[in-house]
């Protein structure tokens, strides 16, 4: 797997001056988003490197993959920006714990009170029955958002990634994903939709409720009840989505419902997590062609 283009990309960044160049270009981008280009001398001044020949060598190594050279100077490439964004999110921060007042939310599995902690880049909710939900966020997010807001942000991002995965595209590497539904009898979440990426190997699981939360029927149903599911993603998932159940074994059909203000919207999924039927009082079918 570790062929030259892959290891070459990592080798390119294996120098402090190169990391400083990327950070200096990101700083410029933050100050002047519409004009993020720096001339050679400006960039060298920002980095504080006093050997032009040596500086030029490192800059040249970055040019192409991480830095774009234009007639006006140098700017971060898309890949370079992605890399710096991960650095700036604080994910490499050795002190990734964050202390906050005891926060309670509801368990996404059983609805019981759950406590929220943050450690090693993960927001973790645990209820008294040990149902655990883990969502990855950079620690910087918790400096600017409340815990519940951070749960919303993390859940929303996770569900968008799931959406891409369900469409067959890995959200991390653009590889092709393939999925299956797996039953876990006796487990707190007895049905999980699971995907793997054939390029980077990422393994993602989603509940039936998570699979349908951004379905147009659910978005519209919530909207009719005054709830923007894109804003209150965490709350809707833990408060309003019911546990899914198998309603037909062959072909496999899984039913999950969303309840708001005494009304229920029922969705039926097939084994690929495609919604094949939506019912709210009167039943109507979704075309599967």
Count of residues that interact with Zn ion, criterion CB under 5 A: 15
Residue 127 sits in the site that holds Zn ion (CB under 5 A): yes
Asked if 77 and 66 touch (Cβ cutoff 8 Å), the reply is yes
Long-range contacts: 201-204, Cβ < 8 Å, 24+?
A: 202/170, 202/172, 202/173, 204/161, 204/162, 204/165, 204/177
Q: Quick one: 146 or 176, whose CB is closer to Zn ion?
A: 176
Q: Quick one: 139 or 171, whose CB is closer to Zn ion?
A: 171
Task: Please identify, among the stretches 20-28, 202-210, 213-221, 242-250, the one whose residues bind Zn ion according to the rule CB under 5 A.
Answer: 202-210
CB of 12 to Zn ion, least distance (A): 21
Peptide bond into 251 cis (omega under 30): yes
Compute the residue count for the chain: 289
Distance, CA of 170 to CA of 162 (rounded, Å): 9
Distance, CA of 46 to CA of 227 (rounded, Å): 47
Residue 175 sits in the site that holds Zn ion (CB under 5 A): yes
Task: Please identify, among the stretches 45-53, 145-153, 192-200, 235-243, the one whose residues bind Zn ion according to the rule CB under 5 A.
Answer: 192-200
Q: Quick one: 40 or 172, whose CB is closer to Zn ion?
A: 172
* Contact positions with Zn ion (CB under 5 A) in 75-114: 107, 109-110, 112
CB of 146 to Zn ion, least distance (A): 22
**Angle between helix 16-31 and 40-47 (nearest 10):** 110
User: Exposed/middle/buried for 247, CB within 10 Å: 0-12, 13-18, 19+?
Assistant: middle
Q: Distance of CA 228 to CAs 121, 149, 163, 221, 233, Å?
A: 27, 14, 18, 10, 8
Task: Please identify, among the stretches 122-130, 140-148, 218-226, 248-256, the one whose residues bind Zn ion according to the rule CB under 5 A.
Answer: 122-130
Distance, CA of 43 to CA of 65 (rounded, Å): 18
Task: Please identify, among the stretches 53-61, 142-150, 201-209, 231-239, the one whose residues bind Zn ion according to the rule CB under 5 A.
Answer: 201-209
Q: Quick one: 107 or 267, whose CB is closer to Zn ion?
A: 107
Residue 131 sits in the site that holds Zn ion (CB under 5 A): yes
Spatial CA neighbour of 275 closest among 163, 160, 175, 156: 163
- From candidates 72, 85, 200, 245, binder to Zn ion by CB under 5 A: 200
- From candidates 170, 213, 258, 269, binder to Zn ion by CB under 5 A: 170
Residue 168 sits in the site that holds Zn ion (CB under 5 A): no
* Contact positions with Zn ion (CB under 5 A) in 13-72: none
- From candidates 172, 214, 247, 253, binder to Zn ion by CB under 5 A: 172
Per-residue tokens: 81: 């920006």
CB of 245 to Zn ion, least distance (A): 17
Q: How are strands ordered across the β-sheet holding 191-197?
A: 177-183, 191-197, 203-206
Interface residue list for Zn ion (CB under 5 A): 107, 109-110, 112, 127, 129, 131, 170, 172-173, 175, 197, 199-200, 202
């Amino acid at each position: 797997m570790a062929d030259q283009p892959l290891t070459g990309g990592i080798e390119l960044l294996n120098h402090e001056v190169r990391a400083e160049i990327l950070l200096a270009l990101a700083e410029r981008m933050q100050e002047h988003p519409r004009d993020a280009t720096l001339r050679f001398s400006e960039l060298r001044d920002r980095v504080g490197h006093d050997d032009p020949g040596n500086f030029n060598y490192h800059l040249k190594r970055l040019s192409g993959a991480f830095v774009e050279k234009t007639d006006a100077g140098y700017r971060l490439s898309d890949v370079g920006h992605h890399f710096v964004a991960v650095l700036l999110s604080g994910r490499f921060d050795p002190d990734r714990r964050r202390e906050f007042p005891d926060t309670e939310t509801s368990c996404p599995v059983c609805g019981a009170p759950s406590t929220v902690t943050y450690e090693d880049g993960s927001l973790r909710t645990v209820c008294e029955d040990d149902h655990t939900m883990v969502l990855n966020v950079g620690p910087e997010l918790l400096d600017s958002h409340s815990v519940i807001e951070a749960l919303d942000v993390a859940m929303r991002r996770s569900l968008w990634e799931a959406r891409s995965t369900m469409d067959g595209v890995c959200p991390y590497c653009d590889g092709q994903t393939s999925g299956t539904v797996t039953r876990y009898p006796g487990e707190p979440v007895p049905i999980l939709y699971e995907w793997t990426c054939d390029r980077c190997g990422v393994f993602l699981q989603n509940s039936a409720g998570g699979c349908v939360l951004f379905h147009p029927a659910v978005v519209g149903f919530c909207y009719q009840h005054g709830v923007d599911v894109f804003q209150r993603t965490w709350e809707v998932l833990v408060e309003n989505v019911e546990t899914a159940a198998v309603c037909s074994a062959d072909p496999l059909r899984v039913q999950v419902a969303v309840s708001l203000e005494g009304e229920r919207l029922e969705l039926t999924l097939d084994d690929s997590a495609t919604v094949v039927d939506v019912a709210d009082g009167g039943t109507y079918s979704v075309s599967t062609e």
